[in-house]
Amino acid sequence: MDGTTATADPRFAALPARPGKIIAIHLSYASRADQRGRRPQHPSYFFKPSSSVAASGGTIERPAGTELLAFEGEIALVIGRPARRIALADAWDHVAWVTAANDFGLYDLRANDKGSNVRSKGGDGYTPIGPSLLDARGIDPRSLRVRTWLNGAPVQDDTSAGMIFSLEQLVADLSQHFTLEPGDVILTGTPAGSSVAVPGDVVEVEVDVAGGPSTGRLVTTVVQGEVPFDPELGSLPSADDLQRTEAWGSREAAGLPPEWRLGEELRAKLAAAPVAGLSQQLRRRGLNNVHIDGVRPLRPGTKLVGTARTLRFVPNREDLFDSHGGGYNAQKRAFDAVGDGEVIVIEARGETGSGTLGDVLAIRAHARGAAGIVTDGGVRDAAAVAAVGIPVYSSGAHPAVLGRKHVPWDVDVTVACGGTTVQPGDVIVGDDDGVLVIPPALVEEVVDAALAQEDEDAWIAARVAEGHPVDGLFPMNAQWRSRFAAAREDGGSA
């Protein structure tokens, strides 16, 4: 086929017919996975309605009250003959054509869709395809290139050779689950460089074969919508810094300040400082309500140091658990998103009548490099969780599953855990005495003071062990403090 096939509906002018199914993959390019900081072990998918298809040269509306309409240039495969439980080696034979697509998504609705992307990627015009088809026969599926331009500037450029899962694998894998029928479209994922488009922007996508034929540029112009969402009908769009970062591609691109990081030197100091000493220093600075009460380590002797990533549960209500508890819910998103050196802090309202995590999620957090987990609820499979090796602090063990008492509700928000407030990015430190929350702005000052106090307390303890009375020594009077200063200067114990 040389390029386009006319249909009665101009939206489908670049396709042989209106597709029965549009299947898209969540994450498939190594460059995109590296940008997101997570690499899937297996492909995962979602459906887009055929009503979302648009032709080249059209417009896409950014709905009123939203800000994060993101473009994703992609290679689209059009199935030519039925495929059901086909072998990997035969998969490409079932692909008739290749074309360009733009998998637009509205990040303001992404969290509420829990991974299904029904509303965030299913809107009218959210799947431009075309402008022409390339005959898949004779094309090496690893030789395809996808490029995207935003207002004429190149923003995406990658090849199918850079995919984690090959094009043939996607076809064969999907055929294990249902029949791929002629005309079905597979959107094969986007490389790094996807970002936000605003009204007035023009986005162009092109797929070609190195040194060979091209689809031509698929052109879409963004316009501003005027009709707001009705709050009486469903959840409203919302955007937070996590969604802004992922939509724009980075905090810098989103216009956000750099994320505060806990450096290795400061982390080592915190690991050396006892929670009791840190607590004393916080109290001296007027912070008394920074203890996560009622939690204990599953493995005594475990030290916990990291920055908070938060997860909030609300009391179980059956209808809300039906809508928020299944699928890729907030709990699973938190454990999939936790980063190196971060601590998942869970608000469970002190309710210990069910587990708030089990061994599978503990393994996931450990594999992601998390520094630990703190929950003021229960832990299921407690022995198995302890054996994972990641520090876990909880209010106890309980065999029941999450849905007995909780609905996973939100991530990366301010939470209440064990009677104190925890914000994303707060410093979390724990040992056998308990768990503390330290504001990032105070952490260096507090830990240096705590370590200095530890040094002083150790010197006092040595003097007491020598037989000196505590009167005047603990706390030190002027005479003893002078001796302490001299000892520190001399490096001895005078």
The 10s digit of each residue's pLDDT in 1-28 is: 444 444 589 999 999 999 999 999 999 9
Q: The CATH number of the domain where 180 resides is what?
A: 3.90.850.10
The backbone torsions φ and ψ at residue 118, rounded to the nearest 5 degrees and listed phi first, read -60, -50
∠ Cα 213 215 216 (to 5°): 105
Do 392 and 461 belong together in one domain?
no
- Spatial neighbors of 45 by CB under 8 A, at least 6 apart, are 23, 24, 25, 26, 174
Do 83 and 16 belong together in one domain?
yes
Do 225 and 313 belong together in one domain?
no
Do 141 and 85 belong together in one domain?
yes
* Assigned token pair, 134: 């390339």
Each residue's pLDDT, cut to its tens digit, for the chain (494 residues) gives 444 444 589 999 999 999 999 999 999 999 998 888 778 889 999 999 999 999 999 999 999 999 999 999 999 999 999 999 999 999 999 999 999 999 999 999 987 776 789 999 999 999 999 999 999 998 999 999 999 999 999 999 999 999 999 999 999 999 999 999 999 999 999 999 999 999 999 999 999 998 789 999 999 999 999 999 998 998 889 888 889 999 999 989 999 888 778 999 999 999 999 999 999 999 999 999 999 999 999 999 999 999 999 999 999 999 999 989 988 899 999 999 999 999 999 999 999 999 999 999 999 999 999 999 999 999 999 999 999 999 999 999 999 999 999 999 999 999 999 999 999 999 999 999 999 999 999 999 999 999 999 999 999 999 999 999 999 999 899 999 999 989 888 765 55
Residue type for position 187: L
Per-residue model confidence as pLDDT tens digits over 442-478: 999 999 999 999 999 999 999 999 999 999 999 899 9
Q: Does the residue 327 lie in any domain?
A: yes
In order, the DSSP letters of 57-94 are: TEEEEE-TT---EE--EEEEEEE-S-BSS--GGGGGGG
Q: The CATH number of the domain where 390 resides is what?
A: 3.50.30.40
Exposed (0-12), middle (13-18) or buried (19+): which is 78, by Cβ within 10 Å?
buried
Identify the domain containing residue 474 by its residue range.
450-490
Do 112 and 198 belong together in one domain?
yes
Do 295 and 186 belong together in one domain?
no
Q: Does the residue 268 lie in any domain?
A: no
Q: Does the residue 316 lie in any domain?
A: yes
Residue type for position 181: E
Do 431 and 468 belong together in one domain?
no
| CA-based end-to-end distance of the chain | 93
SS3 111: helix
Contact 408, 311 (CB under 8 A): yes
Q: Does the residue 339 lie in any domain?
A: yes
Q: Does the residue 262 lie in any domain?
A: no
Do 322 and 219 belong together in one domain?
no
Do 71 and 174 belong together in one domain?
yes
Q: Does the residue 103 lie in any domain?
A: yes
Rounded CA-CA distance 201/58 in Å is: 12
**Structural domain count of the chain:** 3
Do 408 and 461 belong together in one domain?
no
Do 307 and 434 belong together in one domain?
yes
Q: Does the residue 261 lie in any domain?
A: no
Residue at token pair 């929350």 = 437
Q: How many residues does the chain have?
A: 494
Count of alpha carbons within 13 angstroms of residue 414, beta-carbon side: 4
